Amino acid sequence: MEARYIEHLMRTPLFANIDAKELEYVLVCLKPSFHKYQANDMITMEGHPFTGIGVVIEGEVKVTKTNEAGDRIIMSILGEGGIFGEMVAFSSMNQWPASVVASRDTEIFFIKPDIIVNQCSRMCMGHRQLTINLLHLISDKALALNRKVSYLSIKSMRGKLAKFLMEEYHQHQKHTFDIRFNRNELSEFLHVSRPSMSRELSRMKDEGILDYYQNTFRLINMKKMSEYASYLN
């Protein structure tokens, strides 16, 4: 196993708290397959046979779904260390529930879920820690999906934007922060019209509630932001 892979993987949540030597043993057990993709390459396609849990080693991917109207919805954007496929890996489904597309040149490795849960022949601590890490990641993903559903339950554009930005504020712990989404991606994530979203952001800026430049946002009137984020209508 190349040293650069070990260095990258040690920084990923899936392999947290596993030292370099133990990680080498774990990877021998897992027998991962490595793949390289260019920007806009389709990595997995919704409805196609499931091929294993994917881990982003380098680059970035978008996880998307298509609704009944044919509109694409961005579920998440994953950078280095991001993981996808874990939610379906241990279910009765054998198809990808979403499509994954490379945002730029990306390297990914896939592991078969049955290898993770099978008893390791070495009884290594690293394999046990990997299983614990995976359970944490599945729980976090379930919470993220719950967050996504909460956006859909909010009817107003301002409420959706306020809830999203307030959650980003709590995550960054500061009033000025960068978001990972560009405008198109944000509108797809919130499942709203981009022109309508841009108009609402401009109104909120004119009212002194927030300020922004490209992907950088600054929350000014926290009282108003909190009020709008709590509205469902």
Same domain for 13 and 123, yes or no, is yes
Does 139 share its domain with 30? yes
Check which CATH number belongs to the domain holding 102 and give it: 2.60.120.10
List the beta bridge partners of residue 211.
218
The strands making up 83-84's β-sheet, listed across from edge to edge, are 33-37, 106-111, 53-58, 83-84
- Record the pTM: 0.67
Boundary of a domain, candidates 101, 124, 151: 151
Question: Are residues 97 and 35 both part of a single domain?
Answer: yes
pLDDT in tens, 46-104: 999 998 899 999 999 999 988 766 778 888 889 988 899 888 888 888 899 889 999 99
What is the per-residue pLDDT for 116? Answer: 75
pLDDT band for position 2 (cuts 50, 70, 90)? low
Mean predicted lDDT score pLDDT of the chain: 87
The tokens describing 202, both together, are 């401009």
pLDDT at 118 over 80: no
- Residue 80: give the domain boundaries: 3-151
